[in-house]
Amino acid sequence: MYDGMLSETINIQGHGGDMIPAYLARPMDSGPHGGVVVIHHMPGWDEGSKEITRTFARNGYLAICPHLHHRDAPGATPDEAAAAARAAGGPPDGRVIGDVGAAAGVVRACTSSNGKVGVIGYCSGGRHAYLAAAQLTLDAVVDCYGGNVVMAPDQLSDARPISPIDLTAQIGCPLLGLFGAEDRNPSPEMVAQMEAALQGAGKDFELHSYEGAGHAFFSVHRPNYRVEAAVDGWQKVFEFFGRHLA
């Protein structure tokens, strides 16, 4: 099997017609391949997020990671842009969903695409993935420990006007959730609320929580990394996408 891969930074037309950078990694054979949009975490459009994008390409997917903080500090380093985004309270939900939808369109339009696209998000990106499942036309979504899927009324703002869990009935594709049992946002209680909402809405979903793991257990360069949870989580992600994006 030919295993060549191309990875590069491109510019895509995101929300509102803005041009933003995106990291694209794709197999170089003729396919057909499913697509995956990687939604980066709040630390930003960093090397770890790009490595995740390449991992999907190595496993036969057209993968793209849009730079969701670009507008907060154009021309800045990814770390500086992430700091600016945090200072602004995070990127607005509507803007993120527009950018993610645009990225999905890019991989769907590739000549080697099979037309199917999934989304995976980590940390704040997990929250965005849950929103994307409810607001975009997708074939599968993975929420990796997305905080603030369950939000109290006093946490809402102009940038984040809706608690994602309140959109559960609108979810239009299968959803996989991976969580750490020691996490506080989302806490086990919040995950239980998500499960009840998904079950009550009759959605196709599976949620898994890992004992001994907290937030960001996939992050290999952080103390949060938990090898057993990460290895099993990757296996579940590829099995899930293998069923729904093939």
pLDDT of residue 1: 60
Which one-letter amino acid corresponds to residue 223? P
pLDDT of residue 200: 98
pLDDT in tens, the chain (246 residues): 678 999 999 999 999 999 999 999 999 999 999 999 999 999 999 999 999 999 999 999 999 999 999 999 998 998 899 999 999 989 999 999 999 999 999 999 999 999 999 999 999 999 999 999 999 999 999 999 999 999 999 999 999 999 999 999 999 999 999 999 999 999 999 999 999 999 999 999 999 999 999 999 999 999 999 999 999 999 999 999 999 999
Structure tokens that stand for 203 in this block: 């959605």
Strand 19-27, strand 62-66: pairing? antiparallel
Range of the domain at 17: 5-244
The backbone torsions φ and ψ at residue 186, rounded to the nearest 5 degrees and listed phi first, read: -90, 135
Q: Total domain count for the chain?
A: 1
Strand 113-122, strand 205-210: pairing? unpaired
pLDDT of residue 108: 98
Report pTM. Answer: 0.97
pLDDT of residue 166: 98
pLDDT of residue 178: 98
Structure tokens that stand for 120 in this block: 């995976």
pLDDT of residue 3: 81
| CATH code of 91's domain | 3.40.50.1820
pLDDT of residue 78: 87
**Per the omega criterion (within 30 degrees of 0), is the bond before 91 cis?**
no
Structure tokens that stand for 197 in this block: 């909402």
pLDDT of residue 207: 98
Contact 135/167 with Cβ under 8 angstroms?
Answer: yes
CA angle 45, 49, 53 (to 5 degrees): 120
